[in-house]
């Protein structure tokens, strides 16, 4: 008879737990001693560091269970019940998987006979205490953080610019913020420049030119804005901006925050309030359209790129005597000033690009080719639908497998099943998901193959319709969605533009402008291919990039 084999699993939740309780190395040694006492050879050792026992994404734990199911060692050895799981329902499910694989669960730190009634009862009680302890630790931690915030202590994280965190003389375990005068001078200068009317990007450029760094980093627009919005410079500690509600992190109303005057302020409140009014006005009047905002009134936001650094060109506004002007400008230039500013009148560039598209891209010849390509790839529709159907069937099978495990727990334990309410809720969720996937499968089965029919006269008419749509500009969001189907990027260089597009993507049913990657009978297109054409044209004189001032 071959010698028995074993797998070892060790876990600690935090670095502090590793110091205060049994560290990973000690757990592993005790488990190895237990394996030797059982006469078993250790095949694998799995370790989870910084993972809660209630977490389902413990990679090493999942790997240990899978190894046991596939290789069937005699034992899985862990330190105690808390290392295995801190949720009684999860513990029951995983122990059932081990039992089916013929693997015995052994605790190195507990002498429990799991085959006896007394041992079964002892193990169950310990698991309940473990779950209660986990919940109590979370509640105690939050209470401790609230108490620390109410006392004006710094509750962790990097200290803001102008301060450092130092142990409190009366309680060295806690920290308070102490002013760092060299940094405080920079903070006061940033607020002073903004109060005088200088913008965030201009402040970043000025500080970098003067050699005043943001600790180890150069200044940029985002870091300046972050400092200007940080209320810690008023001498306040704020706790409770976010809270976990119903399993998700959500913003908390400002009236419920804990705000304590805890350390010396760097900025006077009058200066703070003036700067906040200026920032609020900028946010309202100078919106940035980075990434092709759905609310943008310009046609090519999200597609334009800087020829020097590759960053997006996004909308920048400037106020004249009687109106506000809008330009496309390099995002890097706006944020850090590392790339030379490239201001191009936005409306004029939109009009010129529309003319270029209508004249050289949306031609009857290109449209005819696109239709031919689409019809040539129709044969792949059946394979695509089969793949989507197989994926949906697989997801249904997975839901049914998971629900089956929960029903097994109910059948075996009945009303004694742990966390019965949670178990019922999970079963309802599985049933709802199974119903949704069943409806999706029915929809896939009901799809009809796409058909493509065209005549030479249709291409001329279609080209004219597309030209009218682009020139009208009545719906910028729809035009951007249309152009984004076949244009991958438009690079604006010093004296020319390069438009990268795929002629095969010119035709498709765009009645819906969603970003779905899975095709359907309503919106079917071949999979996006690499851009096949680069259109390079010189910029007209009135669109040559202008150097920004200020």
Summarised one tens digit per residue, pLDDT across range 300-320 is 888 899 988 888 888 888 887
Task: Determine the pLDDT at residue 289.
Answer: 37
Spatial separation of the C-alpha atoms in residues 200 and 337, rounded to whole Å: 11
CA of 245: how far to CAs of 16, 105, 251, in Å? 27, 36, 9
Spatial separation of the C-alpha atoms in residues 259 and 239, rounded to whole Å: 7
Q: Which of 225-234, 379-388, 444-453, 480-489 has the lowest mean pLDDT?
A: 444-453
Radius of gyration of the chain (CA): 32
The model's confidence at residue 512, banded by pLDDT at 50, 70 and 90, is very low
Spatial separation of the C-alpha atoms in residues 388 and 437, rounded to whole Å: 12
Span 15-30, average pLDDT:
71
**247 close to 258: Cβ distance less than 8 angstroms:** no
pTM across the whole model: 0.37
Span 219-245, average pLDDT:
84
Question: What is the DSSP secondary-structure string of 132-173?
Answer: HHHHHHHHHHHHHHHHHHHTT-B-SSPPPTTEEEEEETTEEE
Task: Determine the pLDDT at residue 550.
Answer: 42
Q: Where is pLDDT greater, at 405 or 310?
A: 310
Task: Determine the pLDDT at residue 46.
Answer: 93
Task: Determine the pLDDT at residue 226.
Answer: 92
Q: How many CB atoms lie within 10 A of CB 14?
A: 13
Task: Determine the pLDDT at residue 93.
Answer: 77
135: pLDDT strictly greater than 80: no
71: pLDDT strictly greater than 90: no
130: pLDDT strictly greater than 60: no
Q: Where is pLDDT greater, at 396 or 336?
A: 396
117: pLDDT strictly greater than 60: no
Q: Give percent of the chain above pLDDT 70.
A: 73
The model's confidence at residue 461, banded by pLDDT at 50, 70 and 90, is confident
Task: Determine the pLDDT at residue 184.
Answer: 93
């Amino acid at each position: 008879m071959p010698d028995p084999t074993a797998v070892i699993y060790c876990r600690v939740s935090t670095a502090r737990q590793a110091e205060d309780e049994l560290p990973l190395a000690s757990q592993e040694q005790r488990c190895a001693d237990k394996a030797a006492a059982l006469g078993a050879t250790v095949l694998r050792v799995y370790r989870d560091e910084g993972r809660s026992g209630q977490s389902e994404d413990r990679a090493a734990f999942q790997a240990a269970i899978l190894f046991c199911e596939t290789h069937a060692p005699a034992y899985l050895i862990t330190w105690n019940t808390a290392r295995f799981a801190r949720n009684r329902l999860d513990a029951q499910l995983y122990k059932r998987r081990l039992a089916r694989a013929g693997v015995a669960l052994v605790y190195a730190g507990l002498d429990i006979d799991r085959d006896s009634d007394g041992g079964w009862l002892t193990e169950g009680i310990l698991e309940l205490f473990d779950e209660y302890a986990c919940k109590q630790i979370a509640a105690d931690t939050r209470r401790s953080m609230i108490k620390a915030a109410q006392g004006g202590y710094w509750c962790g994280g990097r200290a803001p610019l102008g301060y450092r965190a130092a142990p409190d003389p009366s309680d060295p375990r806690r920290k308070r913020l102490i002013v760092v005068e060299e940094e405080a001078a920079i903070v006061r200068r940033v607020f002073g420049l903004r109060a005088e009317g200088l913008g965030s990007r201009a402040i970043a450029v000025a500080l970098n030119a003067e050699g005043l760094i943001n600790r180890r980093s150069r200044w940029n627009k985002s870091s300046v804005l972050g400092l200007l919005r940080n209320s810690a410079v008023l001498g306040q500690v704020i706790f409770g901006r976010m809270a976990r509600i119903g399993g998700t992190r959500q913003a908390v109303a400002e009236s419920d925050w804990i705000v304590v005057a805890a350390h010396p302020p760097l900025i006077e409140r009058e200066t703070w309030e003036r700067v906040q009014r200026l920032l609020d006005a900028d946010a309202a009047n100078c919106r940035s359209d980075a990434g092709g905002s759905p609310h943008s009134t310009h046609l090519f936001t999200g597609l334009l790129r800087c020829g020097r650094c590759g960053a997006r060109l996004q909308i920048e506004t400037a106020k004249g005597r009687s109106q506000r002007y809008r330009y496309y400008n390099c995002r890097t230039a706006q944020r850090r000033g590392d790339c030379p500013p490239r201001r191009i009148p936005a409306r004029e560039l939109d009009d010129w690009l529309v003319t270029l598209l209508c004249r050289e891209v949306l031609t009857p010849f290109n449209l005819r080719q696109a239709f031919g390509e689409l019809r040539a790839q129709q044969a792949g529709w059946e394979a695509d639908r089969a793949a989507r159907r197989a994926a949906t069937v697989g997801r249904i099978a997975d839901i049914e497998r998971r629900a089956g495990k929960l029903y097994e727990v109910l059948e075996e334990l009945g009303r004694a099943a742990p966390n019965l309410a949670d178990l019922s809720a999970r079963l309802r969720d599985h049933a709802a998901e199974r119903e949704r996937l069943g409806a999706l499968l029915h929809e896939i089965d009901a799809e009809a193959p796409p058909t493509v029919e065209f005549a030479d006269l249709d291409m001329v008419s279609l080209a004219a319709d597309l030209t009218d749509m682009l020139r009208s500009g009545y719906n910028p969001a729809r035009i951007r969605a249309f152009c984004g189907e076949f244009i991958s990027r438009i690079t604006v260089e010093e004296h020319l533009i390069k438009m990268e597009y795929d002629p095969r993507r010119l035709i498709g049913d765009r009645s819906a402008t969603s970003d779905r990657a899975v095709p359907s009978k309503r919106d079917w297109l071949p999979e996006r291919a690499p851009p096949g054409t680069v259109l390079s044209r010189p910029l007209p004189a009135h669109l040559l990039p202008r150097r920004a001032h200020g």
